[in-house]
Structure 1
Amino acid sequence: MTRAIEIRLNKLESARGPVRSSNVHRVMGDSESECEAMIERLVACGRALESDFFIARVIISPSNCSHSTSAP
């Protein structure tokens, strides 16, 4: 995770204030379904509540991009 993303996520966590009882969880995966599965596992094992906040980041490899940068 880049430093800029880490700083933004920390600001989000700080902005929620001490009154909130929800936690912020970060998950990273290769697809949306993989991130959703990670969230479900966190809830199932008791490390997270369904009412918590989840930030999911889907990582796309350059080989999966739909456009090409090579010259014809």
Structure 2
Amino acid sequence: MKHIVTVLRLSGAVVFVSLLSSLEQPAYAQGPGNGGPRPADTVPIDGGVSLLLAAGAAYGLRRLRQSKSR
């Protein structure tokens, strides 16, 4: 029974992360006001957020496996 609950939690987490990643919108840095220099391009900052989500999911799985072995 514990195995089934663990599998359901894990599959729920995978679905949640999948939904979050599908709703991801690119984020761009704000341009300068009237007096500042014009940048050549905007800077996307969403790549780091994706890496943090993946690292958090990996860490959560590791903690889940560690608690299951105790």
Which one has the largest radius of gyration? 2
More helix by share: 2
More strand by share: 1
Is TM more than 0.5 here? no
TM-score band, normalised by shorter chain: 0.3 to 0.5
TM-score (norm 1): 0.34
Structure number with higher relative contact order (C-alpha < 8 Å, ≥ 6 residues apart) = 1
TM-score (norm 2): 0.35
